[in-house]
Structure formats: C-alpha cells, structure tokens
Structure 1
Amino acid sequence: MTSRTLQLSDKRVAHYLEQGSGEPLVLIHGVGMQAHAWYPQIDDLSRDFRVIAVDMPGHGQSAPLAAGAGLQQFVAWAIAFIEALHAGPVNLAGHSMGSLIAAGVAVTRPDLVKRVAVLNGVYRRTPEAREAVLRRAAELRSGTIDVQTPLKRWFNAEEAQQIAAHKVESWLKSVDLAGYATAYTAFAKGDEVYADGWHDIACPALVLTGSDDPNSTPEMANQMAAAAHNGRAVVIEDERHMVNLTAPEAVNRALRDWLAVATQIEAHIEAQTEAPVEPLKSEV
C-alpha cells in the first residue's frame, strides 16, 4: 500500500492510500475515520482494481476545509480530488459521511462517476434523528468528544467486532477535533442536500447498510436504490453501522457484484459489438 499526496486546484493537499491496478475505485470514509478504515476493501479489491482510499478534509493527513463548510464544499473537494487524479470516470464509494459526498458527486458531476456505491448512508432523516445528530455536532464544536457512545452504538460484544472497535477507537482519538466538528456538522445537516438528485443518478448505484443500523436504516437504503435509475439495495443481516469492518466478506462480495454491472456506455459498446454486420453492397 502506497501513501501519496495530491495538490488540488485550490492548493489544498489531499492524502490518500493507493494499491493495485486496473479500473480506478475511489473510497471516501466516514466522519472521524481515515483512509485506513477501508483496509478490508483495499486488501481484497486491489487484486483487480486500482484502489484509492482518500483522507477526508481535516482527517488523517488531508488539509481541512474552512470551519463551517457544508456538504456542498465537501462535494466540491471530492470533485477536485477526482479531477486531479486524471483517471477519467471513477468507481466511487463512500461510507456514512463519505456516502453523502459520493452521492453528491454522482448527482452534480455524473461525467466523473462510472458507478457509485453508498454504504451506511443517510437519506431524509426523521426530525428526531436530525435533532440528535445536530446535538452531537454542537458538542463537537464546543470541544467535547465522546468516543465511547458511538463505539457502543456501532459494535456488539463479539470478539471480531471488538477488534474492529479498537481500531475505530484509535482513529477517533487521533482525529483533529476541529476537522471532525466541521465534517460532522456538514454530515448532520446534509441528508436533504442531494436527496432529490437521486432521481437523476443513472449509473449503477449500490446502496448497502446493516439491518441493525438505527441511523442508516434499511428503509433509507431501499428508498435511495428505488429512486436511482439503476439502483440496488443490499441489507446485511445482524450488522450495524461499521459493516465494512464487521462483515468485510459480505461487503466485498456486494462491491464486486456492483463493479461487474455494465454501465450504459459499456452496454452500448457491447450491443454494437454483438450486432450482426451487414455485408457491403457493391455498386453497379
């Protein structure tokens, strides 16, 4: 796995991990995490794809956005990052906050996105759920960080889950608090920003969550997948919010199935290739 940095058009530096070759697959983690949070997907999918896991602004080694930046600014950052890669349209996957960013890029710049995957994404929260995340965002902005509450919400007591929980705990404790607060506030206010745009997403769209995720619910996943032109919902039973870490085999299978879905351009090329060729008629 190679650690790289890239200077974006606004001179900010983005840090990312890269492994493998082939079609580019860009991964955007959730708030409070870092690019390493995709390690089970990097290890598996890099056998067949060029996997690029990027640190979100203000996380890991990526430069932060301005305090108060909203979801639109995070989407603009992701667009600048994809453009700076010079890799053409990419397969784009996000988890949690990263899924809001990925969906926003797919809505606003479909030319940059070959396929989009949303893992544990949120969509049109209830007023009660929105109030809860807004309270947590206010706590972070005040300088208070509660690591144990999300860990209890995301993981059960099983040994395999606790191994993942310890990794997540270390990332939460190392994240820059200001960057975390900015991203979490954008996340708390972002579930409606691109919600109407799901009807415009024409590329293959995977929407995946865990059956026991109370915030990124199966109902939300089904609604997003139904709104997209070529959407598919996958709900992994008995899993919670950090499903890419706690059920990596199931998540990797779903991602591989998604990456195998033909895009409209690929389907058109295949149809043209398979179409019978009429013999040329000679002129008399």
Structure 2
Amino acid sequence: MRRTITKLFCTVLLFCSAAAHAEAPKSQFAEANGVKLHYLSAGKGDPVILLHGYTQSSHMWLPLIEQLSKDHLVIAPDLRGFGQSGLPPGPYTKSVMAQDVHALVTSLGIKSAKVVGHDIGLMVAYAYAAQYPQEVSKIALMDAFLPGVGNWKDVWLLRDLWHFHFYGETPLALVKGRERIYFEHFWNDFAADKTKSLSEADRKFYAAEYAQPGHMKAGFEVFRAFAKDAEEFAAYAKKPLDIPMLVLTGEKASGNVLIEQARLVDSKVDGVIIKGSGHWLMEEATAQVVPKLVQFLR
C-alpha cells in the first residue's frame, strides 16, 4: 500500500513538473517588417498579444503569461529598440511599431488576436487596432494616454514635460552608466507607493537591458515621435473602433483621463480604475489586474 501511494505521489509530481515546464514561455526571434524581433510565446488557443511599455520589456508580462497560456496562445514581443529586439535607426512612431508586431503575428499564421498594451505599449496596441480593426477581437489599454486624442496636451504636460523632450546627445551622455538612476524616477515617482513598485530583481534586470549599446537612444526615440503619433492618432480617431475595449488605470496615475480618451476612439469601452495603484499596474496591483485581464480576454 505504501509503495502504491509513493508511486502515485511521484507520478503526480512528474505530471505537475511536466505541466509547469510546458507552460514556461519560449524565447524566440523572427524577422518582421525589416526588424529582428525577440518575443516570448506560450500556450495554445485564442491568440493574445502583450505589448510592454517604457523602462520595461516583454519580461513584465510573465505573471500574466502564466495564467493566460492555460487556454491561449500568448505572444509577448520586445518592441523595436527594446529588450533583445533589433535597433533600427527609426522611425519609432507607434504606428510603425504596430506594423512590426502585425508582421510578426502574420508570420506566425495568426489572422485575428486580442491585444493588450501598457504605457507606450497601449499606444502601439491602439495603433494596431486602428490599422487592422478586422484582425482585433478585443483590446485592453493600461495606464498612460493617447497622443492626439481629446485634450491630450494637458495630459502630456501634466507633470513630466522634461522627460518627453529628453533625447539627443546630451541626455544620452548624462544617462550613460546611470540608467538605473534615471529609471528610478519612473519606478518610484509614478508608483502610488515606491516600496510596492517594481522589485529589486526587476530593477536590476531592466537597467541591464537598457544599458546595452543603443538601447537608451531607441527608448528616447519613442518620445521624439510623439508629435507624429498625435497627428496619426487624431486621424485614426475620426473613425472610432467598434471593438470591446477594457481600460485599466491607476487611481494615483492616469485615473479617468485614459478612460475618457478611450471613449473618443471606441464605442465599447469598459473603464476600471484600480484603487490605490499608481502607473505600474502589473506590479502594484497584480492580484487585481491579472484576474481582470484574464476574465476580459476569456
């Protein structure tokens, strides 16, 4: 009897270990739109595309990938110029970045997907849906703003005008070797509570990623492109989307602003303000945000 129980217990452990291994995301590369893109992939089923924001990379999505990959095919790319992806000289408009992602998912045989974006990634997600509306079944936007939509300049100038114009040779020289000091401003000041923001391990990971040659310059270029983004988004907004859209914002960050903008560009918006959270929703409010996203996407 004892031998049977031991054998059964070992079998269960082996099964769980195999299942856990099967769900671990794969790190892969592909040429897309003339750019080498790195991406994480996991699971099978309805495709979901996860788009990261500034100061981060596809790594930010690991807690969500773990849940979604149980019944979805999850694709989380590093956007051009970020993580392990290539560093083209430009452009870094969100429309072109969306075209990169579209080329990637098309190369994988994906004809329709659900799209999620945080921060800069939400701008890319919107540009993706605006350019390929028939290929997006659901979209989720997470805490930032949409350039060119509504009273967007008040949002843009609200608290951190300096970093939107912080690009060029002098900023690059100032930040070189001090990437973490620069990013601490975002990770601490954009959080409701800096002690509940990004973990120490993640801070080290991202600082090292962005310290790679050319990566800070690429990151700065996403801000340089905002004027062009605003022009393109204003044009997209003239034809509102008719796609189910979930908007999650931090109470201590974009609050109602992004939700109000979203209602100008889509007719099916559900806006949720995450109480007590700042900008870093995945890290500050994991227990609230991951279930909301999983429920919406399923």
TM-score (norm 1): 0.80
**Match for residue 199 of structure 2?**
164
CA distance in 1, matches of 2:93, 2:62: 27
Higher mean alpha-carbon deviation, 107-116 vs 71-80, is at 71-80
Give the aligned residue type for 1:151.
W
Matched residue SS, 1:194: helix
Deviation at 1:252, TM superposition (A): 1.7
What are the Cα deviations for residues 125-154 of structure 1, in whole angstroms up to 9, with x where unaligned?
A: 316237344233456455524122112213
User: How many Å separate the matches in 2 of 1:107 and 1:147?
Assistant: 30
Structure 2 partner of 1:246: 284
Q: SS of the counterpart of 1:193?
A: helix
Contact 1:143–1:177 under 8 Å retained in 2: no
2:161 paired residue among 131, 146, 150: 131
CA deviation digits over 1:105-140, x for unaligned, max 9? 111111221211111130323162373442334564
Cα 1:226/1:142, change in 2 over 3 Å: same
Is 1:2 aligned to 2:26, yes or no? yes
Q: Is the 8 A contact 1:206 1:258 kept in 2?
A: yes
Aligned counterpart, 2:22: none
Structure 1: state its 5+ residue gaps: 261-284
Provide, for residues 44-74 of structure 1, a one-character-per-residue CA deviation record: whole Å limited to 9, x for no partner.
2111211111111111111123245323322
Task: Give 2:219's aligned residue.
Answer: 180
Indicate the SS of the match to 2:242.
Answer: coil
Q: State the AA in 2 paired with 1:4.
A: Q
- Equivalent residue runs for 1:245-264 within 5 Å: 245-260=283-298
Q: What does residue range 58-207 of structure 1 map to in structure 2 within 5 Å?
A: 58-123=81-146, 124-126=152-154, 128-129=157-158, 131-137=161-167, 140-141=171-172, 144=175, 145=179, 146-157=182-193, 161-162=196-197, 164=199, 166-175=201-210, 176-186=215-225, 190-191=229-230, 193-195=232-234, 197-198=236-237, 199-207=239-247
> How far apart are the structure 1 equivalents of 2:222 and 2:100?
12
Alignment-derived partner of residue 263 in structure 1 = none
| Structure 2 partner of 1:270 | none
Shift of 1:231: 1.2
Name the amino acid aligned to 2:218. G
The 5 Å alignment of 1:222-233 reads 222-225=260-263, 227-233=265-271
Question: 1:37 Cα deviation (Å)?
Answer: 0.7
Q: State the 1:92 CA deviation.
A: 0.8
Query: Is 2:55–2:206's contact at 8 Å kept on the other side of the alignment?
Result: yes
CA RMSD across the alignment:
2.5
- How far apart are the structure 2 equivalents of 1:19 and 1:248? 20
Listed one character per residue, the Cα deviations across residues 61-93 of structure 1 (whole Å, up to 9, x for unaligned) are 111232453233222222222222211111111
Q: Are the equivalent residues in 2 in contact too, given 1:151–1:165 (CA < 8 A)?
A: no
Assess if the C-alpha contact under 8 Å between 1:45 and 1:252 holds in 2: no
Contact 2:95 2:128 in 1 (8 A): no
Cα 1:165–1:234 shift into 2, 3 Å: farther
**Stretch deviating more after TM superposition (127-136 or 44-53):** 127-136
Residue segments in structure 2 that go unaligned for 5+ positions in a row: 1-24, 147-151
Tell me, yes or no, if structure 1 residue 34 matches structure 2 residue 57.
yes
